Structure 1
């Protein structure tokens, strides 16, 4: 559980609500059905046109990584790779076969199976790097869904404000409606800017950092498996992989 992300989401909401109350606008000024329809539904409509269905679905599968990123313990992973290396030296590469099905991560399972099958190290590297590149590409495309929402939302907020001011202009003859109408118009701007800068863009940035961390883990796995396939000394493997801990 990423506590900083949870605290950040809470503070983002608190800053918006608290700021509205402290400025004297009150909570009621933050609610506008028209602004919600224009900005939030409009942003969703724009991003649906912007992305493919597969990428859109993947984006909402990985958004949970903001508060619950994939488990990662590089020190434990290094110890596991060194253990596999020791087994391979004592029993040969086929001695790793019982460990293949024990792996929960499909990437690790595939790589270890390639080692057990005696595939050449260069071929193992090539296949795993292709797998890594493809997964990273899909994940980054999904993260950019939220980046796109962060780009569209402020513009739609301005559209909402303009539409609200157009409605105000129609009621110039009734001064009692002007204040409320102008306030409602600017609510759309708040929706657009706040949702972009307090939610969509930070979510995108967090997902990109998680994806980069995951890719770094997989790079370490590739190097470890290649070293096992090449029959390197377990102690040398451990020393080499320690560079990934920084």
Structure 2
């Protein structure tokens, strides 16, 4: 399981458990099946109306994607590109094709195959950029699905609250304060469930999917740069250093946080003070 997702799930469960245990007289009052059903069924119904069936049925698969620890083998892709580039520099196309058979990244494999086929660099880059744009659009739509559900669930929570308030108004004539209080609490439960699902499930999943897309696009752009350098027959060592820059996480591109100053600058300041 993805470590950050696991931490988030455990922390949210602990938070709700502690809050209900110490602040609620009876934690069981927060378990109301009809209220939860209004929010879940209403949200799913509105989602089915909004999206085609083939997209809605992917919800559970996308949740599994968020839960599992998906690795991007960036370093492995760099080594594959550099190794293939070294062979390509020798002009042995047969050896390049044999090395390409062991490559697992389909995006990288497509780019190298086009280079072997002597496709113009501009056409290769256009095709690969189109594939990047297609992946970004597809996965953005998947994340947007959960953002739409995050908008629907609080709305259906309010609908459940309105239903509860209507029932509450019929009890006002009886004057039973205890019964009125109980129905008022139940009326607010649907809003509680709607807000909880929106902010603890649907929105976090959407953000996680968006971040996943950013990481995947970054790897694809790295491969794109490597393919371009391969077309230009750049040095494999230069390719390695260039592609490694995609993996390095600089805190600051200009200042590394060190307090040291250049000697010339220190001497200039001393002269200025004198």
Normalised to the residue count of structure 1, the TM-score between the two structures is 0.92
1:128 counterpart SS class:
helix
Structure 2 residue 150 is the aligned partner of structure 1 residue 169: no
Q: Please identify runs of 4+ aligned residues in structure 1 that moved more than 3 A.
A: 57-60, 91-94
Note closer, same or farther for the CA distance 1:229–1:92 as it changes in structure 2 (3 Å cut). Answer: farther
How many residues are paired up?
246
Cα contact 1:29–1:187 (8 A) shared by 2: no
Structure 2 residue 19 is the aligned partner of structure 1 residue 19: yes
1:72 counterpart SS class:
coil
**Who is 1:201 aligned against?**
203
Of residues 164, 179, 182 in structure 1, which corresponds to 2:181? 179
Normalised to the residue count of structure 2, the TM-score between the two structures is 0.83
**Who is 2:124 aligned against?**
124
User: Runs of 5+ in structure 1 lacking a partner?
Assistant: none
Pick 1 or 2: higher relative contact order, CA cutoff 8 A, min separation 6.
Answer: 1
What RMSD over aligned residues (CA atoms) do the two structures have, in Å?
1.8
Note closer, same or farther for the CA distance 1:25–1:90 as it changes in structure 2 (3 Å cut). Answer: farther
Could you tell me how far 1:96 is from its partner in structure 2? 1.8
**Who is 1:111 aligned against?**
111
Please list, as runs of the form range in 1=range in 2, the aligned pairs for 1:1-246 lying within 5 A after superposition: 1-172=1-172, 173=174, 174-245=176-247, 246=249
Distance in 2 between the 1:118 and 1:94 partners? 14
Distance in 1 between the 2:239 and 2:166 partners? 69
Distance in 2 between the 1:5 and 1:171 partners? 45
Distance in 1 between the 2:59 and 2:125 partners? 28
User: Runs of 5+ in structure 2 lacking a partner?
Assistant: 250-274
Note closer, same or farther for the CA distance 1:116–1:204 as it changes in structure 2 (3 Å cut). Answer: same
More helix by share: 1
